[in-house]
Amino acid sequence: MGRNAEIIAVGTELLLGQIANTNAKWISEQLALHGINVYYHGVVGDNLTRVKDMFDNAGERSDVVIITGGLGPTDDDLTREAFQLLSGLNMEEHKLSMDNIEAFFAKHKSTMTPNNRKQARVFEGAHIITNKVGMAPGMILHYNDTTWVFLPGVPREMKPMVVEEVLPFLSREQYQNTIIKSYVLRFIGIGESKLEHELKELIDQQNNPTIAPLAQNDGVVIRLTAKAATEGDVIQLLEQTKAQVLAKVGDYYFGMNDETLESSLLKRLLEKNHQITSAESLTGGKFIEKIISSPGASRVCKGSVVCYDQSVKRNVLNIPDELLINHGTVSEECALAMSKNVAELLNSSIGISFTGIAGPDPVEGKPVGTVYISIYMKDGKHFVEKYEFMGNRDGIRHRAVIKGFEILLNLLK
């Protein structure tokens, strides 16, 4: 049976917006991969009563409570004190942690102030997690049928503790002799709500594996998580469910797990022995930059022309003056000429172009969000389409780039 987790971040700086609570996002992702549900996120400032009240509520409703922050040496680091007020458990100085703290100051040739001894205080009977890159250790303990995990708030200190100690501990505790594995299926060209609608029957019947849709900047993902006694059984469950999912929405599928839009496109271009170039107006090179971010891109990417100004379209891409005068730069005719001319100019088998209006003002009588994307292929395929994207300037440019990847992936399937 699964266990339900809660993540609490302690620190007034989080409430003031001085730093973002990235710890909760990262820990949630790790727990999900291990089949542990996260039902609550909480943030509380450096106030003893409020921290204690937050812990009290968490202990009543969650099987696992993971706390980050408030383990430092200063008076406003109150995580230990709040939990002691709640639990009545005794604290003691952990010798190994104290030795590490003293060694840290000796190494840096600085004087240790007395309040740093506070960081070595731990609850009696707790499982201690060594801090390999900082000073305050982590702790895992049981209290009132809840597993409590205390971790530093600094991500570079917290993350190794989670990976090396916390996740193995929780997995052993939750699933004795059970293997947990996840597939992340990636989709483009379909929204989260439509994807969930298409898979509603499967989601309603889910048990093992579980099916969880999630929207991301570069499309939508579905996470499948299965549990079984052996690796082979887990993979069989995942493969069966993956086949059921793709039978319904396979037209939108482009990759799995760590595969990205750019790596998937790179693979398809290599398979078909294509090379690609881009002519980019409103996207300003964002499309080609995304391709180049993928290792091995030099085998398929010839280059790009960023033709933001009309003179570059005319003088570099050789777009005729007559076309620009009669149809404008934001037009089907201009987009097609850009994609064809950049392919010929840079001697590639595929040319893709982006022209449009990202804002803030309309251009050539066309509203903000108007975008034309064209693809020219030397084997005879031509594509040009008009889109109306919503959002701010950066959002429109990003959506145009993602749409370009979607079109190319579909053409190369």
Residues 276-289 have pLDDT tens digits of 999 999 999 999 99
For residues 364 and 361, give the distance between their C-alpha atoms in angstroms, rounded to a whole number. 10
Note the pTM of the prediction, 2 decimals: 0.70
Comparing 287 with 3, the larger pLDDT belongs to: 287
Yes or no: say if 184 and 257 are a contact pair by the CB < 8 Å rule.
yes
Radius of gyration (C-alpha) of the chain in whole angstroms: 27
Give the CA distances from residue 230 to residues 37, 169, 226, 235, 239, in Å, rounded to whole numbers and listed in that order: 22, 19, 11, 9, 14
Q: What is the pLDDT of residue 177?
A: 60
Give the CA distances from residue 324 to residues 310, 334, 335, in Å, rounded to whole numbers and listed in that order: 8, 7, 11
Longest dimension (CA), the chain: 84
Q: What is the pLDDT of residue 322?
A: 96
Residues paired with residue 355 on neighbouring β-strands, in sequence order: 372
| Burial letters 64-103, b for 16+ CB under 10 A, else e | bbbbbbbbbbeeebbbbbbbeebbeeebeebeebbebbee
Both structure tokens of 309:
């100004």
Residues 361-370 have pLDDT tens digits of 999 999 999 9
Q: What percent of the chain has pLDDT over 70?
A: 98
Both structure tokens of 37:
């549900």
Domains and CATH numbers, the chain: 4-174 (3.40.980.10), 179-256 (3.30.70.2860), 261-412 (3.90.950.20)
Residues 65-111 have pLDDT tens digits of 999 999 999 999 999 999 999 999 999 999 999 998 998 888 888 88
211, with CB counted inside 10 A (0-12, 13-18, 19+), is: buried
The whole-number average pLDDT for the span 36-60 is 95
pLDDT at residue 179 above 80?
Answer: no
Strands 179-187 and 219-228: antiparallel
Q: Which residue has the tokens 């003691």?
A: 92
The contacts of residue 115 (CB under 8 Å, 6+ apart) are 73, 74, 75
Handedness of CA 399, 404, 410, 412 (dihedral sign): negative
For residues 231 and 225, give the distance between their C-alpha atoms in angstroms, rounded to a whole number. 13
In three-state secondary structure terms, 348 is: coil
